[in-house]
Chain A
Amino acid sequence: MKKSNILQNHPFAKYLRQDRMPHIWCAGCGNGILINSFINALDELSIDLDKVVVVSGIGCIGRAAGYINVDSFHTTHGRAIAFATGVKLANPELKVVVISGDGDLFAIGGNHFIHAARRNVDIKVICANNFTYGMTGGQYSPTTPLESWTTTTPYGSIEHPFNLVHLAAASGAIYVARWTTLQVRRLKNSIKKSLQKEGFSFIEVISPCPTIYDRYNKLGTATDVMRLFKQISQVQHGYDPSKAVITKNQIMVGEFMDIEKPSYGRLLREMTIRVQEKLKGEESK
């Protein structure tokens, strides 16, 4: 079968912009698995694709917005969440999803992340965490583990990394989960759950970078890294996110936070109604 036919006949063909294929990602990269899980979640929920907006920042995973066949926007570096906040509040009908990377969301865009979580804006943030800036060739990021090797830590990293799930929970997210690209079914379920909840959700996806980060750190091939994920992942729901620090020997995965809290949009709508009713009362006097 011709390549174009394979694409067209694929059951998920409608979810991808086929004229943008082939994608730019390397063989063994986790981004495809993340996108696949996201598409599966959309499919299982039968969400109206005309009402979904995917926003991304800059980096390898930043290209995701261009590949998924919904309204999508590729912002400047770090600003996906701020842009998405504007979209969601301007049109509350839309499901707004931010798909971006660890450097984009937590270095240059870190301030927007904590504030959107604090406000509990109803957006879903999915972070492909590959511990590095892949697009620019493998520099250290805010999640690069201590002593890791990258092109800008030629003597090993001396920076303490963020524990993203702890940061998200402490900032006010109502749903926080972490999975590796090995736990695809659980990842998909988490995405489904976040899409059904109203409020700021955060899902961290630990993702291999076989071309750069994994190679510098001698973690082996993409398959080896998946094997490593299998060995060191420990599934536990409700685990204290402050203790879920990623180490060489352990990646705590699961749902760390699943609570309800009024979203910013809800509070805004309620306030608007109060203001307008008060005005109506004054006008009819």
Chain B
Amino acid sequence: MQKNRAVLQGTHFLSGDLACAEGALAAGCEFFGGYPITPATEIAERMAKRLPEIGGVYLQMEDEIASIAAVIGASFAGKKAMTATSGPGFSLMQENIGLAVMTEAPLVIVNIMRGGPSTGQPTMPSQQDVMQARWGSHGDYEIIALAPSSVQEMFDLTIESFNLAETYRVPVMLLADATIGHMWERVKIPPQEEIPLSWRKKPEVAPAKYKPFKPDENLVPPMACFGEGYRFHATGLTHNEEGAPATVSSEAQDRLVRRLCNKIRRNTKEIMKIEEIMLDDAEIVVLAYGITSRAALSAVRMVRKEGIKAGLLRLVTIWPFPTELVTQIAKKSRAIVVPEMNCGQLVREVERAAKTTPVLLLSKLGEEPHRPSEISSALRKAIK
């Protein structure tokens, strides 16, 4: 019997970057288009080795603009496709992220965040691209972004990213950081049949009746791919349901752009993944995501021992932001502490949702993620 080479089964000691590559392969990814960049390069290297083994395509493009363009092309040619990068490359990708949003291309973009702006600190971690992930391309749109906090999650959430991309026909971002990308931990890979996979919905009508941008009830249009006989057209211009440019119609603009936003907004509950830890009686809450949430959990446990009723709200999905949930939690809390490895990005969303509850930013830049002690002292101060 031929071994299934796509799913590396069993328990392995992997870095975050390698786990991400293995997660992608387990998710059915057959196309990687990328450009070397620290600290995401190991994803490309692993894919270059592994993709030929399963008959997939590793393509090293001339820059990140080309990488994402090729990935969109591969997606429309019917493949699950991805790219992986870091800040400078992520910046270069922004225009075509808009193209992927506009033409509803399912694909995954991994950003192993490093210190910025500009070339910044290539080997150091950060969470400085959180708002760029949300708003980086021009125009109005909604995006899905996930924040892994362990090497195991680099594997699991890469699969989840592909599933969300295929379900909603959107580019999905996996926002990790240099610490997680380069950290080594144990990863348990389940048997292939236990990994749930999603695939884009295919059209059920004859080619002559197919409208490439006519949505189903969940606001997502079924997707034909090139070569399947549907002969459709897709464009970055504002378009109608037939895919024809509608560049001067206010109605077409309103309808299309609102649908692109609403297909995420109205499905937020299905998309959203969060972890609520010791929140039931919590008077003070840490809201954290990514690597920072690990120190946050230690800090919460630490102060609990001292009798402080603290809890942790860990966001696995950071976009769409769970505004309603944060509002509810804020109502019951005396304060929310937000540790971030930036000068304060997601904290703005928290403030917006928390309304009158005080929100305290614990900002950190540079090599080290937050220490548990830094978060626990913030909790002690906040409760006074």
* Residues of chain A having any CB pair with chain B under 8 Å: 17, 19-20, 49-51, 53, 55, 63, 65-66, 69-76, 79, 82-91, 93-94, 111-112, 115, 268, 271-272, 275-276, 279-280, 283
Residues of A within 8 A of B3 (CB): 283
B70 interface contact, C-beta 8 A: yes
Asked whether, in the complex, the Cβ of B234 is within 8 Å of the Cβ of A82, the reply is no
Known: A82-B73, A275-B52. A94 touches B226 (CB 8 A): yes
Asked whether, in the complex, the Cβ of A111 is within 8 Å of the Cβ of B57, the reply is no
B76 interface contact, C-beta 8 A: yes
Known: A66-B245, A76-B69, A82-B70. A87 touches B62 (CB 8 A): no
Residues of B within 8 A of A66 (CB): 233, 235, 244-245
Asked whether, in the complex, the Cβ of A86 is within 8 Å of the Cβ of B71, the reply is yes
Q: Report how far A280 CA is from B244 CA in the complex, Å.
A: 48
Asked whether, in the complex, the Cβ of A20 is within 8 Å of the Cβ of B52, the reply is no
Residues of B within 8 A of A82 (CB): 61-62, 65-67, 69-70, 73
Asked whether, in the complex, the Cβ of B96 is within 8 Å of the Cβ of A91, the reply is no
Q: Report how far A188 CA is from B230 CA in the complex, Å.
A: 26
Known: A85-B73, A87-B74, A91-B78. A74 touches B233 (CB 8 A): yes
* Residues of chain B having any CB pair with chain A under 8 Å: 2-3, 5, 30-31, 33, 52-53, 55, 57, 59, 61-63, 65-67, 69-79, 81, 95-96, 98-99, 103, 225-237, 242, 244-245
Residues of B within 8 A of A17 (CB): 233, 244
Asked whether, in the complex, the Cβ of A94 is within 8 Å of the Cβ of B96, the reply is no
- B317 CB to nearest A CB, Å: 28
- A118 CB to nearest B CB, Å: 9
Asked whether, in the complex, the Cβ of A74 is within 8 Å of the Cβ of B74, the reply is no
Q: Label chain A's interface by main secondary structure.
A: helix
Partner of B77, one of A50, A91, A115: A91
Asked whether, in the complex, the Cβ of A73 is within 8 Å of the Cβ of B77, the reply is no
Q: Give the nearest-CB partner of B245 in chain A.
A: A66
Asked whether, in the complex, the Cβ of A75 is within 8 Å of the Cβ of B99, the reply is yes
Q: Give the nearest-CB partner of B207 in chain A.
A: A50
Residues of A within 8 A of B59 (CB): 85-86, 89
Residues of B within 8 A of A275 (CB): 52-53
Partner of A19, one of B78, B237, B242: B242
5 contacts between A and B (CB under 8 A): A19-B242, A82-B65, A83-B70, A87-B76, A91-B79
Asked whether, in the complex, the Cβ of A112 is within 8 Å of the Cβ of B234, the reply is no
- A282 CB to nearest B CB, Å: 10
Residues of B within 8 A of A91 (CB): 77-79, 225-227
Known: A76-B236, A86-B33, A279-B5. A111 touches B230 (CB 8 A): no
Q: Give the nearest-CB partner of B70 in chain A.
A: A86
- A138 CB to nearest B CB, Å: 20
Asked whether, in the complex, the Cβ of A19 is within 8 Å of the Cβ of B244, the reply is yes
Q: Give the nearest-CB partner of A268 in chain B.
A: B57
- B298 CB to nearest A CB, Å: 43
